[in-house]
């Protein structure tokens, strides 16, 4: 029974991250969004900045359970599984940013979106690469060496970011080493442009410290398996979480906590917070046997990648479909729904309610899949 609950705790934790991923990604309007539901503009931290690293942490949790089976399989089969899964997740992320592959002009004529302007890196792509790197390390190296390598990666990333940035501030948005590498590797047309200029917060260089979130999640997963549902396990997990939060906070003095650069201090800080959140969930579900509300998040946790992808693709379609308003002007379905239905309830509250309703619609799809025991794996 403990094993079932333990898995349920991890599903709930993973589902919690997907739930909040959807909420923070789909406000009615970003201009009227409550501050905690926005990412920090640069240095600093908001609750929203914990969502993505927590999902990577959950990827590591799950990997620690799967890795036990790797030793029983031929090397070729294990590598094929790892590479295939990484490739498919990366491809889905790439196609998602290219979707719907066409654009509409003012006369509603369709034009093909050229490959030359597609974004290469992104959220799913980062998940794919972090999974690939971490899985290969754990498969080929002893765990102790993987943890040592994780520390080295964080220290090297700090040195590279400080040493290879340009201008008086090597950590500014337009002079940092991560952007320099992405521009050299891909050019400006293949980068995210949401900041008003080419800069990808999920670029290649910052993927390496992001991998450490997966490695830390793996360590926590192994710790849970080794110690079982005991207060010793929980107390050590809490101590680990508090220590990592403190380390991230202290490191912030020299290498600021920054989600868009995925700084080493940010890794430590988010690993610590993820550990504390997970320990809280485990205390409620495993130790106190309180299951109320768990099933809601478990629905997201059973099909996390599918529900996330569904939520993103549906948003793209809502922004793609044109709507002619009563005054003859043209808008898109996404802002039309928000302004017509939700904004009258108040700009900020309406924007928040839009995100909640949209999250619940995606949850409904996940619920149907869960009821029918349909779990879409990549």
Residue at which a domain ends, from 244, 260, 289: 289
Residue 50 confidence (pLDDT) above 90: yes
What average pLDDT does range 206-214 have in this prediction?
Answer: 98
Domain count across the chain? 2
Q: Is residue 221 domain-shared with residue 318, that is, in the same domain?
A: no
* 257: DSSP letter: -
Beta strands in the chain (DSSP E): 102-104, 110-112, 322-324, 330-332
Tell which residue, 12, 6, 3, 5, has the closest CA to residue 293.
Answer: 12
Q: Is residue 191 domain-shared with residue 211, that is, in the same domain?
A: yes
Q: What share of the chain is helix, strand, coil (3-state, %, to 5)?
A: 70, 5, 25
Distance CA 260, CA 2 (A): 38
Q: Classify each residue of 198-231 as buried b or exposed e, where b means 16 or more C-beta atoms within 10 Å of its C-beta.
A: bbbbbbbbbbbbbbbbbbbbbbbbbebeeeebee
For the stretch 246-303, pLDDT in tens is 999 999 999 999 999 999 999 999 999 999 999 999 999 988 888 888 899 999 999 9
pLDDT of residue 4: 41
Residue at which a domain ends, from 289, 319, 348: 289
Range of the domain at 232: 46-289
Residue 25 confidence (pLDDT) above 70: yes
Q: Are 8 and 285 in contact (CB under 8 A)?
A: yes
Q: Is residue 332 domain-shared with residue 204, that is, in the same domain?
A: no
Residue 104 confidence (pLDDT) above 90: no
CB atoms within 10 A of CB 195: 15
pLDDT of residue 214: 98
Per the rule left: phi > 0, alpha: psi between -120 and 50, beta: everything else, 169 is beta
Tell which residue, 239, 60, 244, 225, has the closest CA to residue 151.
Answer: 244
pLDDT of residue 111: 80
Distance CA 36, CA 279 (A): 23
Q: Is residue 105 domain-shared with residue 27, that is, in the same domain?
A: no
Residue 53 confidence (pLDDT) above 50: yes
pLDDT of residue 1: 36
Judged by average pLDDT, the poorest of 36-45, 82-91, 107-116 is 107-116
pLDDT of residue 82: 97
Find all residues with CB under 8 Å of 151, minimum gap 6, and list them.
none
Residue 61: C-alpha distances to residues 15, 41, 67, 96 (Å) = 13, 29, 10, 26
Q: Residue 331's beta-bridge partner residues? A: 323
Residue 166 confidence (pLDDT) above 80: yes
Residue 302, phi then psi, degrees to nearest 5: -80, -30
User: Is 137 domain-assigned?
Assistant: yes
Q: Is residue 18 domain-shared with residue 55, that is, in the same domain?
A: no
Judged by average pLDDT, the poorest of 75-89, 102-116, 206-220, 229-243 is 102-116
Q: Is residue 104 domain-shared with residue 62, that is, in the same domain?
A: yes
pLDDT of residue 325: 83
Residue 3 confidence (pLDDT) above 70: no
Q: Is residue 186 domain-shared with residue 166, that is, in the same domain?
A: yes
User: Is 231 domain-assigned?
Assistant: yes
Distance CA 353, CA 366 (A): 20
Q: Is residue 106 domain-shared with residue 147, that is, in the same domain?
A: yes
Residue at which a domain ends, from 266, 289, 312: 289
Q: Is residue 59 domain-shared with residue 25, that is, in the same domain?
A: no
Torsion angle in degrees (nearest 10) through CA of 298, 304, 310, 312: 110
Q: Is residue 211 domain-shared with residue 90, that is, in the same domain?
A: yes
Q: What is the mean pLDDT of the chain?
A: 93
Q: Is residue 339 domain-shared with residue 282, that is, in the same domain?
A: no
Find all residues with CB under 8 Å of 168, minimum gap 6, and list them.
none
User: Is 352 domain-assigned?
Assistant: yes
Q: Are 86 and 143 in contact (CB under 8 A)?
A: no
Query: What angle, 0 to 180 degrees and rounded to 10, lies between the N-to-C axes of helices 264-282 and 231-251?
Result: 160
Distance CA 41, CA 30 (A): 13
Tokens of 341: 């239905």
Q: What's the N-to-C CA distance of the chain in angstroms?
A: 28
Q: Are 323 and 8 in contact (CB under 8 A)?
A: no
Residue 114 confidence (pLDDT) above 90: no
User: Is 294 domain-assigned?
Assistant: no
Q: Is residue 276 domain-shared with residue 307, that is, in the same domain?
A: no
């Amino acid at each position: 029974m403990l094993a079932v609950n333990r898995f349920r705790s991890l599903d709930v934790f993973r589902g919690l991250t997907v739930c909040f991923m959807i909420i923070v990604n789909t406000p009615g309007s970003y201009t009227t969004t409550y501050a905690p539901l926005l990412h920090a503009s640069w240095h600093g931290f908001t609750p929203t900045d914990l969502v993505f690293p927590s999902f990577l942490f959950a990827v590591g949790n799950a990997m620690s359970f799967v890795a036990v089976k790797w030793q029983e399989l031929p090397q070729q089969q294990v590598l094929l599984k790892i590479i295939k899964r990484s490739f498919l997740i990366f491809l889905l992320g790439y196609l998602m940013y290219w979707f719907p592959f066409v654009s509409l002009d003012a006369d509603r004529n369709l034009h093909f979106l050229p490959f030359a302007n597609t974004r290469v890196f992104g959220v799913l792509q980062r998940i794919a690469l972090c999974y690939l790197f971490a899985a290969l390390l754990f498969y080929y190296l002893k765990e102790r060496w993987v943890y040592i390598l994780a520390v080295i990666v964080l220290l090297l990333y700090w040195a590279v970011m400080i040493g290879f940035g340009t201008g008086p501030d090597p950590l500014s948005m337009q002079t940092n080493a991560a952007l320099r590498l992405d521009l050299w590797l891909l050019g400006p047309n293949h980068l995210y442009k949401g900041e008003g200029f080419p800069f990808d917060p999920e670029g290649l260089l910052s993927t390496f410290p992001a991998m450490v979130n997966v490695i830390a999640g793996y360590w926590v997963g192994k710790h849970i398996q080794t110690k079982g549902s005991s207060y010793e396990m929980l107390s050590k997990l809490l101590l680990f979480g508090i220590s990592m939060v403190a380390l991230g906070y202290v490191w912030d003095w020299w290498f600021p906590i920054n989600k868009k650069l995925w700084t080493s201090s940010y890794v430590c800080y988010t690993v610590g917070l993820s550990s504390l959140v997970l320990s809280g969930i485990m205390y409620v579900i495993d130790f106190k046997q309180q299951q109320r509300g768990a099933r809601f998040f478990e629905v997201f946790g059973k099909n996390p990648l599918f529900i996330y992808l569904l939520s993103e693709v549906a948003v793209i379609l809502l922004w793609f479909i044109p709507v002619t308003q009563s005054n003859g002007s043209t808008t898109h379905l996404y802002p039309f729904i928000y302004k017509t239905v939700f904004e009258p309830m108040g700009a900020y509250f309406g924007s928040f309610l839009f995100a909640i309703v949209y999250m619940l619609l995606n949850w409904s799809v996940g619920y149907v899949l869960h009821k029918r025991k349909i779990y879409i794996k990549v």
